[in-house]
Every structure is written in C-alpha cells, then in structure tokens.
Structure 1
Amino acid sequence: MDHEKVNILLVDDQPAKLLAYEVILKDLGENLVIASSGREALELLLKTEIAVILVDVCMPELDGFELAAMIREHPRFQKTAMIFISAIQVSDIDRLRGYEMGAVDYVPVPVVPEVLRAKIKVFAELYRKTRELERLNHELEDRVRARTAELENSTAKLRESEQRRSMAIAAGKMGSWDWDWISGDWMWDEGQYRIFGVSPETFEVNPANVQALLHPDDLDQLRKAIAEFNKGTRAYETEFRIIRPDGEVRWCVGTAAATVDDSSRVVRVSGVTVDITERKRAEERQNLLAREVDHRAKNALALAQSIVRLTRADEVKAYVSAVEGRINALARVHTILSLSSWQGAELSRLIDEELAPYSLGGQIMLAGPKVQLLPATAQTLALALHELFTNSAKYGALSTRSGRLTIGWQVEDQVLTLNWEESGGPLVITPKSRGFGTRSLLASVESQLGGQAQFDWRAEGLLCRLEVPLTRKSAATTASGKFEDASSAELQRASG
C-alpha cells in the first residue's frame, strides 16, 4: 500500500558511517536527510519535519547527549523519536543518561542492518500513524466545530423564532396548548395561563380544573368537540366563555387539530386559544351604537317633522327661515353629540354653537361651571336656547347694539339652573299670548326633561329661568324610546 514518505535524519561526523546508514535504510523507501554535525542537525530540524533521528553518541563539539538535550528543549520536538548509535561499550548509567536526554532506543556498533531497519521502520510507522491520527482529529474537530456552529445557529434561529412566536401570541392575546389523548396529560404555554387568569405555579392543568374555568353554558362545546374527534374529525373550532378565578368573564375562540396513529386513532390534540373579549365588546358596542343611531335618526326626524308641521308664519319667507333655524339648531347639537360618540355635550359648547350665527361683539356675557349634558337633555336644551336666541335677536336685547344678554348657570343637587337675563334692548311688553317658540320651549323643558321654565317679561328686558334635572333617570326619555312620541305630542299641544 502506498503511503506518504517521512523524513529520517541521520547525524554522524563520519561520512563513511552516514553512507553505511543510507545503504542499510534505503530499502525502507523513506526520505533520508544527512547531517554531519549536531549544529547542522539543529538547522535541518528547524526547516524540515523529521519523523526519526538516528544520531551518533560520540561527536566532536556537540555529542549525541547534548544534541538530544537541546532538541528536547524545543516544544516542537519533544516527542520526536531519537535512536542513539554508540561505538563504545555503553554502561547502564550511560543508557540512563541517554533516556533522560530523550532517547527512545540504543543501537550498538557494529550495526546489524536488519535490526536497524526494523527499529527505524517501527518508529517511522508510528510517526505516520500519529500524524494520520492528528489529521483525523483535526478533521473531526473541524466537523465538530462546524456542526456545533450549525447547532448554535439553528438554536439561535429556533430561539428567535420562539421569541417571535411568543411575542406574536402575547400581542394577539393568544395561547397554545397540547393534550395527550392517551395519557390525559396537558401542556399549556404562558399565553394560555394568562388568558385563563391563572398561574403555572398554583394551577394544575387537568380536565377537572380546566372544566371548572369554563362557563357552565359552554361546557357542551367541550363535550361536542371530544365527540367530534372520536368520530374522526381532525379539526374543530368554536367560541366559548371562561370565568377567571377573580370572576371576570372572557370570550375566547378555540381551534384544535388532532394527531392520529397508523390505525387512525387520535393520540394527541393540539390547539390555539385566542382571547376575543375586546372584539366581542366592540361588536356589542357597534350593535348598540347602530340601534342608538337608528333611534337618534328617528328622534331627529320626529323633531324635524314636528317643527315643519307646527311652525307658523304669515309669509313663506318667514316660515322657511323659522324652520331652517330650528333644523340647524338640531344639526349643530347632533354634530356635537356625534363628536363625543353620543356620550353627551358640554353646556358652554351648546351656547357657543348657538352664538355662532350672531356677530355681537361684547353684548353677551357667560358665567358658569363646566356641565356635561346627557344626549336627550342636550338636544332639548339646544332647541330651547335656539328659541331664546331667535326671539332675542328679533325682538329683544340682541336686536339692537345697545342691548346686553347675561347667561349664567349653576348646578345643585343634580339640577341645572340657567338664568337668561336681557337688558338695554327695546321696551318689553308682556305678550297677550305665547308664541310657538315659547310654548314649545315650555313643553320640551317641562314635559320631556321634567324641569321648569319661568318667564318674566320685565320692561327692561326678558328674564327667563330654566331648571333642568341632570340625572339619567329624569332626563333619559329619549333613551327609553319615547322621545319621538313625546316630541310630537308636546309640540302639538304647544301649537294648540
């Protein structure tokens, strides 16, 4: 079998001996390197990879023992095989010294060719196998390093993927679970515990404990899912409710998939749970808002219908102006309520909206705290304020630049008291009969809101006092679905 040749260093100060060694070792088929002195041998060692050194003990300047000691001091040659050749009788002490210097064997003179060849061959093969083993070890280490790097890279990617999955699950309010169909063992991830409002340190995942957290009305969903899997269904999805230990009810959607063995028997069921409580609440709010919008639309249409039907005027132009003014008042308060998602309207905002059509400079003074009105109260009060502003602009203080209007309000015991005081305008004469605006104002405030409206037509200006309850019980006529009927009926009576 062909093999890679190794270098054998022959060291002797006598050329004849070197030639003899070459002849003896030629048949080994190795590379023979010649050195005629110890120093030359050291130079060759530094330049060439040597497998075995054959060195004469007796040499001038640097003998074999000294050369061996110098070779062994170098880290690179601490394991290089050295064979001493001695032409003199070697004592046990000399042998011991040689071994201490690093020799691995002795060959006496006269040299027996077969013995020398056999020893050199053994050490050459040993060197070759050692080098091969080192090479294999390096390759193995390289493969181990490469494999380790691959595993670390795969582990890092898996960890990163798991982190992304955990973040996605956490962000999506999701949890995953696994159920061993045979043993009954459960496995929940962190998201699953979080959805059910329990802790992995205190909650044992088992069928009994899990069922205890399900809403009683939804237990049949679990039984149905189990039955479906037993029938051969491979996937199942359903919505259900859970009751957390703190009593909070949460809506969830569960998706499960079955794993079967070779005989199509279910062995494992895995799934994902998604908390959809917020979506359910949003749907409920949307449905409620849709019903509310429908109710508000009917309410506005009923008001508009009553306004159109009951408004009186001597000429078309005056009629159109009156109708438009009242419809615009409704539109303005509707806009305010829409911007608040029909949660209510602030009183000063209503007044500002009614003031907007008039450029009155400093004729009007407002004074009062922030008051949040319910939608029904806001709509009715907006129409009342519109009638007051319209009458004042036509006949009262706002009809002349010298007129002044003071609007002040306060809240006590959930009752809003609004004082409207005019002065500096034309001389006021108490009307013999109430017009549509005054009668509709009285009807809406007193009948719809359960409040009171008082008018005092003083000569120096109108004084009006409105008392309006702010509580939902008193002001929620529209919320109960009666606003349309009340609006029409009261306005009809006002027109009578």
Structure 2
Amino acid sequence: MDHEKVNILLVDDQPAKLLAYEVILKELGENLVVASSGREALEVLLKNEIAVILVDVCMPELDGFELAAMIREHPRFQKTAMIFISAIQVSDIDRLRGYEMGAVDYVPVPVVPEVLRAKIKVFAELYRKTRELERLNQELEDRVRARTAELENSTAKLRESEQRRSMAIAAGKMGSWDWDWISGDWMWDEGQYRIFGVGPESFEVNPANVQALLHPDDVDQLRKAIAEFNKGTRAYETEFRIVRPDSEVRWCVGTAAATVDDSGRVVRVSGVTVDITERKRAEERQNLLAREVDHRAKNALALAQSIVRLTRADEVKAYVSAVEGRINALARVHTILSLSSWQGAELSRLIDEELAPYSLGGQIVLAGPKVQLLPATAQTLALALHELFTNSAKYGALSTRSGRLTIGWQVEDQLLTLSWEESGGPLVMTPKSRGFGTRSLLASVESQLGGQAQFDWRAEGLLCRLEVPLTRKTATTTPGKFDAPGSAELQRASG
C-alpha cells in the first residue's frame, strides 16, 4: 500500500555507522536524513519535519543526552520519538536518564537489523497515523466551520438585531417597557430594571413605585406624558432624571408610542429608556473645560500685559529681547503645566527648562529633592528663575567660562528654601538701584506667593535666597482659579 514517506534522522559521528544504519533501514522505504554531529542534527530539525530520531549516545562536543535535552526544549519537537544507540553497557541509571531526556527506546550495539527496523517502523507508522488523524481532524473542523457559517448566514439579520439589543441591555444603557393602558399592568425588561437600579425580585412595577423613583423636579414629565396620550398624541419623547435607591441620580431620555383600538382609544403604550448620564457628564466637563481655558487664557494675557507694560530698556532691541525672554519663560512653564493637566510642576523640571538655553557643561550644579509645585506657584517661580538666569548670563557667573552657579533647595514644614550661589564670574558690586528683573522677582515672590527674597551682592558672586510657602492659600488654589501673578504688585515695584 502506498503511503506518504516520513523523514528519519540518523545521528552519529562515525560515517561507517551512519552507512550501516542507512543500509539496514533502506528496506522501510522512508526518507533517511543523516547528521554527523549534534549541532548538525539541530540544524536539520529546524528545517524539516522529522518522525523518528536515531541518535548515538557517545558523541564528542554534544552527546546524545545533551542533544535530547535541547530537542525537548523546543516546542515543535516535544513529542518527536528518539531512540538511543549505545555501544557501551547501559546501566539502569543511564536508561532512566535517557528516558527523562525524552528517549522512547534503547538499541544496543551490535545492532540487530531486524530489531532496529521493527522499532523504527513502529514509530514511523505512529507518526504517520498521528499526522493523518490531525489532517482528518482539520478537515472535520473545516466542515464544521463551513456548516456553522451557513447557519449563521441564514439567521444573520435576527442574530444581529438581538445582539445589538443584548449589548445595549448588558451595558445598562437601554431598556424597554410596555404599559397596558386598560389594566394598568407594566412589563419591564432586564435593561429597564438595571437603569433604575432595582431588581424584579424586590420591585413591583406600578405607577406609584415608578413615580417614586423619578426626580421630584421631573415628576410632572410623567403626568404631562399621560395627559398628551389622553389627548390623542401617538408618540412622546422627553428627558428626565431618576433617583436610584442608592441615591445616585441618573439622566435618561424616554421615547414612547401609543397603540390604539378601532375607536382611537389608547390601549397600550410601549417605550424605550436610554441612560444618557455619561453624555450629560461629558457636556458638563466640556463646559467646565471651556470656562477653565477662558480663565487661563485671561491669566496668561494679564501676565503678558504686565510684562510688556513694566519692562524697561534704553533701546528697542533690548526691550524686545527682554519681553521675548520673559514671555518665553511663561510659555515654558505653561507647557509643563499643560502636560500635567494643570495639576502642577516638578521644581527640577522647571529649573531644567529655564537653564536649557545656557548649555554650559559643568558650570551649573543642581541639588535638591523632588518638589511638586502647584500651578500658581510654578508660574510665579518660573518667572523669578528666568530673571535670575538672565541677569547671571548678562552680568554674573554665566557671562564667563570661569563662572560657576550652584542651585540648591530643600523643603521643611511646607516651606521651600531655594539658594542661588554664583562664583568665579566678574567682580560684583552692589547695584545703586534695582532693575525691573529684581523688582519683579521681589514683588512676585513676596506679594504673590507670600514668601521672601534676599540678595547678598558679594564681590565673588551673587547669593540669593528664596523662601516660598507651599501651602499658602494663594498657592493652593485649584487649577484654573488662580489669578495672574504680578499685575498690581509689579506695578508698585516698578514705580
């Protein structure tokens, strides 16, 4: 009987033995594949489907036991039959080790051709039968799938309609009901019970109980609907609220249609209820967001207006540069706050953004713990840091390669203390009058944040100390509710 040939892998490091195995097994009529080492055998396995592996136990580099262990680790070959050939006396321990590695049998040397052929034939036939069963099973599954597809196609419309209804009910967003206008009997489906937050085992559907679940301000909607149907209206739709037994308020939209008899009298009203609470909440969030965006835009414009109005310079170019620098500082902190959904900004991130334009490797040292600043505090402190960096780049430590700047900060009892220490720059002299940068820094930190700013104009470099409370009322205002810092205060400081 013709049958599909299977691959038999022969593994031995001695060519003479491989040739002998080929001669012995040639009568089986299968495909014989040879490998002279364990590594070569692994390459053959990865490229071919192998039914049986005949492997010598004693081989250099990779012996039969090691090869078997590697073969069994691969998902494709966990059930591949392996027969060990051993030219030495095999102990029970060696046999046990071989079986643990995945061997299905042992063949001693000298090999008895009839015995070897019989063993190989058994496992080759087993492999062939297994593959045949897999093919038959696949064909059966294909036929089952085809038949199932035919059945599904024949009922597609009905199933699709029921699926949509089931999904709506399962999500708790839709329910249907029926009201016998003559007898007063009600019928609710599962979705209707779920929307109202009650169960059929404990809730009796009747006008009084249904009315008790309506929001007091929306009870008139039910009375109005009944009145409309009594007047001859055939369809009615309205939005209303319900109050579940757990006190949760839900928004719903109800649509109802009347069925009349031959005389035009209403005999039945059927309807659908849809839970639209999430939509209502989304609309509220959208309205709130629009108001917050408007408020924040006004704050940003107020800050920009203050910067433009209060900046002083001897020439237009210097004026434009100063304004642009301060507005860019405001834009950078605005980006940081936006990424956090206006929940706040981390102090080190704020400092990194401000020192980014000054890529002076090794000149600036930062030291301090993680500190999360609220939006109002972050905005004001960002502008203060910008003034310090700008002044240092123009006149202080950052204006020369030999200059050094150390920024350190710590928090104790909700008080942020930040120290700014310059050294190695040009000789520093105490200014005769304070410029806009210094005045705005003092005004914003002290007036807006309720903190303190101290300047020590040492000859070797400026030493500045900022103390900012992190829990002051003005610094803990909710996002979108803080005022633009510095408008009135900066006006006073510039006077």
User: Same fold judged by TM-score > 0.5?
Assistant: yes
Is the CA contact 1:83–1:103 (under 8 Å) kept in the aligned structure 2? yes
Kept in 1: contact 2:11–2:53 (CA 8 A): yes
Per-residue Cα deviation, 1:45-94 (whole angstroms, up to 9, x for no partner): 99999999999999999999999999999999999999999999999999
Q: CA offset at residue 166 of structure 1?
A: 1.1
Asked whether the equivalents of residues 404 and 425 of structure 1 are also in contact (C-alpha less than 8 Å), the reply is yes
- CA 1:47–1:466 in structure 2 vs 1: closer, same or farther (change >3 Å)? closer
User: How much has 1:132 moved relative to structure 2?
Assistant: 48
Q: Is the 8 A contact 2:449 2:472 kept in 1?
A: no
Contact kept? 1:449, 1:477, Cα under 8 Å: no
Q: Shift of the alpha carbon at 1:323?
A: 0.6
- In structure 2, relative to structure 1, the CA distance for the partners of 1:215 and 1:452 (3 Å cut) is farther
Q: Which moved more, 1:247-256 or 1:58-67?
A: 58-67
Secondary structure at the aligned position of 2:140 is classed as: helix
- In structure 2, relative to structure 1, the CA distance for the partners of 1:255 and 1:381 (3 Å cut) is farther
Check the 8 A contact 1:12/1:36 in 2, yes or no: yes
Counterpart of 1:453? Answer: 453
| CA distance 1:115–1:283, shift in 2 (3 Å) | closer
- 1:265 CA drift (Å): 2.0
Cα RMSD after superposing both structures: 22.7
Summarize deviations over 1:74-122 as a string: whole Å, max 9, x none: 9999999999999999999999999999999999999999999999999
Q: In the TM superposition, what whole-angstrom CA distance separates every residue of 1:385-418 from its partner, at most 9, and x where no partner exists?
A: 1111111211222222222223233334444333
- What does the per-residue CA deviation read over 1:360-409, in whole Å, with 9 as the maximum and x for residues that have no partner? 22222223333333322222121111111111211222222222223233
Deviates more, 1:67-76 or 1:207-216: 67-76
Q: Relative to 1, partners in 2 of residues 1:343 and 1:255: Cα closer, same or farther, differing over 3 Å? A: farther
Residues 406-448 of structure 1 show CA distances to partners (whole Å, capped at 9, x for unaligned) of 3233334444333323233233322232211111111112222
Deviation for aligned residue 1:306: 1.4
Counterpart contact for 1:445–1:453, Cα < 8 Å: yes
Deviations 1:187-224 (A, max 9, x none): 22222222222233333322222222222122222222
* Range that drifts further, 62-71 or 408-417: 62-71
- Which deviates further from its counterpart, 100-109 or 259-268? 100-109
Q: Which moved more, 1:392-401 or 1:459-468?
A: 459-468
- Contact map agreement 2:380 2:485 (CA 8 A) in 1: no
CA distance in 2, matches of 1:323, 1:279: 44
Q: 1:237 to 1:85 in 2, by over 3 A?
A: closer
Superposition deviation, residue 307 in structure 1: 1.0
Matched-pair contact (CA < 8 Å) for 1:10–1:32:
yes
Give 3-state SS (helix, strand or coil) of 1:434's partner: coil
Measure how far apart 1:324 and its partner are. 0.6
Q: Given the superposition, is the C-alpha separation of residues 463 and 163 from structure 1 closer, same or farther in structure 2, using an over 3 Å criterion?
A: same
Conserved 8 A contact 1:302-1:484: no
Larger mean Cα displacement after TM superposition, 28-37 or 410-419 = 28-37
Shift of 1:31: 66
Spell out, residue by residue over 1:146-196, the C-alpha distance to the aligned partner (whole angstroms, 9 max, x if none).
999999998896466323311144448222222222222222222222222
Show CA shifts across 1:210-260 (max 9, x none). 222222122222222222222222222222222222222222222222222
Rounded Cα–Cα distance in structure 2 between residues aligned with 1:427 and 1:20:
96
1:177 and 2:177 matched: yes
| 1:292 CA drift (Å) | 1.5
d(CA) in 2 for partners of 1:292, 1:369: 31
Question: Alpha carbons of 1:88 and 1:307: their partners in 2 closer, same or farther (altered >3 Å)?
Answer: closer
Contact 2:259 2:268 in 1 (8 A): yes
In structure 1, stretches of 5+ residues that fail to align are none
CA contact (8 A) 1:420 1:464 kept: yes
Change beyond 3 A, Cα 1:280–1:80? closer
Which whole-Å CA distance do the structure 2 matches of 1:262 and 1:491 have between them? 82
Contact in 2 for aligned 1:12/1:18 (Cα 8 Å): yes
Moved more, 389-398 or 134-143: 134-143
Q: Distance in 2 between matches of 1:358 and 1:98?
A: 69
Paired with 1:21 and 1:141, the residues of 2 have a C-alpha distance of 40
- The number of residues matched between the two structures is 495
Change (3 A) 1:236 1:88: same
Q: 2:37 & 2:404 partners in 1: Cα distance?
A: 130
1:310 CA drift (Å): 1.0
Cα shift at 1:26? 76
**SS state at 1:463 partner:** strand
Contact 1:374 1:472 in 2 (8 A): no
User: Residues 296 and 480 of structure 2 are in contact (CA less than 8 Å); yes or no, is this contact kept in structure 1?
Assistant: no
Offset at residue 139 of structure 1 (A): 33
Q: 1:194 to 1:347 in 2, by over 3 A?
A: farther
Distance 1:212 1:136, change over 3 A: same
Paired residue secondary structure (1:34): strand
Cα distance in 1 for residues equivalent to 2:315 and 2:328: 20
Distance 2:253 2:381 in 1: 46
Residue 328 (structure 1) aligns with = 328
Question: Would the aligned equivalents of 2:169 and 2:190 in 1 still touch at CA under 8 Å?
Answer: no
Q: Deviations over 1:126-158 (max 9, x none)?
A: 999999999999999999999999999988964
- Per-residue CA deviation, residues 27-54 of structure 1 (Å, 9 max, x unaligned), is 9999999999999999999999999999
Q: In structure 2, the residue corresponding to 1:486 is in which secondary structure?
A: coil
Range 482-491 or range 138-147, more displaced: 138-147
| In structure 2, distance between residues paired with 1:179 and 1:449 | 64
Aligned to 1:96: 96
Deviations 1:437-473 (A, max 9, x none): 1111111122222222222333333232323333473
Secondary structure, in 3 states, of the residue corresponding to 1:378? helix
2:491 aligned partner: 492
Unpaired segments of 5 or more residues in structure 2? none
Q: Does structure 1 conserve the Cα–Cα contact (< 8 Å) formed by 2:375 and 2:479?
A: no
| Structure 1 range deviating more: 125-134 or 268-277 | 125-134
Separation (CA, whole Å) in 1 of partners of 2:385 and 2:492 = 20
Q: Distance in 2 between matches of 1:120 and 1:253?
A: 75
> Is contact 2:398-2:404 (8 Å) kept?
yes
Q: Secondary structure at the match of 2:445?
A: helix
Moved more, 125-134 or 404-413: 125-134
Relative to 1, partners in 2 of residues 1:487 and 1:202: Cα closer, same or farther, differing over 3 Å? Answer: same
TM-score under structure 1 length normalisation:
0.64
User: Aligned partners of 1:392, 1:89: CA distance in 2, in Å?
Assistant: 88
- Residue 288 of structure 1 corresponds to 288
8 A Cα contact 2:374 2:476, kept in partner: no
Q: Kindly, what percent of the aligned residue pairs are identical?
A: 96
Distance 1:321 1:98, change over 3 A: closer
